[in-house]
Chain A
Amino acid sequence: MRIEIDLLTCQDFGECVLSAPELFQLDETGKQFLRRQTSETKFEFDVAIEYETGAEEAAIVCPMQALTILH
């Protein structure tokens, strides 16, 4: 599974952290830590099979719907 986060849409609610702590974290300033991975507005990464359920849940709970499962 591949997932995309739209960092422009993401408002750092942190709901994804509760659903998939292995994939998402907030940094010490309360911002999505993936912001440090890129200067682009979108960031894609592969999800290990054991974290797929968590990723799916994170995509559903995101208040801003900033996560997209790309399959």
Chain B
Amino acid sequence: MSTEFDLDTALNVYAKGELFNPYPLYETLRARKEPFWSENLGMWLVHGFTDVEEGLSDPRLQNDRILGYERSLTPENRIKFKALNEHLSHWLGFEDPPVHTHSRGYLKEYISGKLAIRMKPVIQKQIQEILAKAGSHSEIDLITDFAYPLPLKIICDLLGIESGREEEFKELADAIGVYPGNVGPILNDVAPAAALALVKMEAFFDEMVVKRLADPKDDLITRLAQLSVEGLLSHQEMVSLLTFVFLAGFGTTLNLIANGMMLLFTHPEEKEKLIAHPEMIGSAVEEFLRYESPIQIVARLVREDFEWHGKQLGAGDYVGLIAGAANRDEDIFPDPERFDIGREPNRHIAFGRAAHFCLGAPLARVEAQIAVNEFFKKFPKAEMVTPVPDWLPIISFRHLGTLKVKLNNEN
């Protein structure tokens, strides 16, 4: 079998969303040392570390991909789902400077390093409750019983979603998220449900905004509602930013925690090292981020025709910057397939680079550091029951379906 044949087959499987282990594909792509046009995906794939890093900072690769969504909709649907595309256009992940700089600034006033420090005791308290609940069972699913509830509670706290309404909010956000999570003609099929969820989401926030303006709290809804009253943000922008913060911050943190736990269970020596040296948690979390990056691929749209690394990119082309491939680039990371919780230096690109560098990175780091260390403090003898990691074949995210663990709790 030639390499070419393997690559085509792998790309076919990848494009269909059926590739459980993308790393051999990434390695084959990296060996080509140049952007690769995939007909199946309809996108340029960029995979080397320096190219991905460069691509994330290049203004000719824009974040505004609304054109790509409009292009995929039928003329009738383009009119019908105008509000949905407008909603999306105000997400930070679809904006470019200078508009992006303003919106990001509003969020950054609140989602700061100070917030991460302030949240530490809240995270501690939540994790103790989660672990106490888990401790009453002999076996748990680390996804649903551990990695899921912590980031859900924390991000809802940060936003200001009332206690007891987290799941309702999450369902609406997820339903909207299906739309930007797809590309191509399928968007015509997923748009109606997303548009309906958006109408409900607007009503959900309308109700909360009225309450918060009457009775301000220290949360993001209050802050953005005040900015909206001052005329700095439109109502539509406010709803977009709140929905975006949830979708950008919840699943990614869940996957960081879950992937990290799985990596420790499948590398027992590293797990024992961390249990003996909990102070290594900082570099351990960085290695989780590098080795199984929650966000595997970041999309951009080519702004203007230009030549890049010997390839002619055309205006309107999609570009996929594969962080998951860059993070295993042997030119940057010695022995990249080795999972090493003490790896140094570790310049991974899991949180992106430049203007779009993950705003929630400090909070995600703190959540993962506390969650993992506290779990092994309470359950040092826990064992993985799921025989092999249950990766879901999603192109964009590294996401486990289940992760069953026997707690072997002696208390």
A22 is an interface residue with CB less than 8 A from chain B: no
- Contact of A9 with B365 in the complex, beta carbons under 8 Å: no
For B135, the chain A residues whose CB sits under 8 A away are: none
B282 within 8 A of A: yes
* Shortest beta-carbon distance from A58 to chain B in Å: 7
**Does B366 contact A60, Cβ atoms closer than 8 Å?**
yes
| A44 CB-CB contact with B under 8 Å | no
Report yes or no: A63 in contact with B286, Cβ–Cβ below 8 A. Answer: no
CB-defined contacts of A15 to chain B, threshold 8 Å: 113
Contact of A61 with B362 at beta-carbon distance under 8 Å, contacts A6-B345, A53-B117 already known:
yes
> Which A residues are in CB contact (< 8 Å) with B286?
65
Q: Which of B117, B345, B353, B357 contacts A9 (CB 8 A)?
A: B345
Task: Given A53-B117, A65-B282, A68-B282, decide whether A60 and B347 contact each other with a Cβ distance below 8 A.
Answer: no
User: With an 8 A cutoff between CB atoms, is B338 at the interface?
Assistant: no
Partner of B113, one of A8, A9, A60: A60
Give the shortest distance, in Å, between A22 (CB) and chain B (any CB).
15
Interface residues of B in 351-373 (CB under 8 A from A): 351, 353, 357, 361-362, 365-366
A64 CA to B287 CA, complexed, in Å = 13
Q: Which residues of chain A have C-beta atoms less than 8 A from B366's C-beta?
A: 60
Q: Are A60 and B345 in contact (CB under 8 A)?
A: no
Which residues from 37 to 61 on chain A have a C-beta closer than 8 Å to any C-beta of chain B? 53, 56-58, 60-61
Q: Does B19 contact A (CB under 8 A)?
A: no
Given A60-B366, A63-B357, A8 and B345 touching (CB < 8 A)?
A: yes
Q: Which residues of B contact A32 (CB under 8 A)?
A: none
Besides the contacts A58-B113, A61-B113, A63-B361, what 20 more A-B pairs have beta carbons closer than 8 Å? A6-B345, A9-B347, A13-B357, A19-B113, A53-B117, A57-B113, A57-B114, A57-B117, A60-B117, A60-B362, A61-B112, A61-B361, A61-B362, A63-B351, A63-B353, A63-B357, A65-B282, A65-B286, A65-B346, A68-B282
